[in-house]
Amino acid sequence: FAAGGVGMTTLAYCAVAADGRTFTDQIWMREAAVPGLRQFADAMHAEGARVAIQLGHAGWFASPHVIRSAPLGPSRTFSPHGMAFSRAMTDADFARLTDDFATATRLAVTAGFDAIEVHLGHGYLLSQFLSPYNNRRRDHWGGSIENRARFPRQVVGAVRDAAGPQTAVYAKLNMEDGFAGG
């Protein structure tokens, strides 16, 4: 695509943590991934294109067989994808995942990416928080739209801070979940 003249291409779905993966060979952001990501970014730049990376966490879409634990979600939910129940996130999970998004962003910038796309759509973790169907919490992380948006906004703020002033940050966000109660 870069050789064909596109202005920017995006490396799609890279998990911010091992427990955010939907399949075994999915890229997840860690120091060991940086050399390969740097090679990818350099190849795009050599063709004159900018390069973005999409960062996300699968939430309860994560495969328990891959992550070897119960997937995380805003609320305990049965995942038909993994045929398992998710575990509702705790305060420690909120802190860790916010940090995971920030760390993944810093690694992406180190690898040479020009932009960070935060995945807030299509039923993944941050989208799960926005959806009243998936987010049935009764604390300050659920209920009103302001509360349901609290964690996604916290993550986007951490990503923006970690990206620095030279790296673009944008979000992928669906406008409709496509099912009743979404």
- First-to-last alpha carbon distance for the chain, in angstroms, is 35
Mean pLDDT by 10 residues, the chain (182 residues): 93 96 94 98 97 97 93 93 90 98 98 98 95 95 97 98 98 87 82
Residue 12: its H or E element = strand 8-15
How much is the pLDDT for 116?
A: 98
**Local structure of 32: helix, strand or coil:** helix
How much is the pLDDT for 179?
A: 79
Contact present, 16 and 57 (Cβ < 8 Å)? yes
Q: Please spell the DSSP secondary structure of 91-113, one letter per residue.
A: HHHHHHHHHHHHHHHHHHHHTT-
Question: What residues are annotated to the active site?
Answer: 124
How much is the pLDDT for 180?
A: 84
How much is the pLDDT for 162?
A: 98
Tokens found for residue 125 = 């973790």
CA distance 125 to 143: 16
DSSP state for residue 47 in the 8-state scheme:
T
Task: Give Cα separations from 104 to 10, 41, 98, 112 (angstroms).
Answer: 15, 15, 10, 13
How much is the pLDDT for 178?
A: 84
How much is the pLDDT for 24?
A: 92
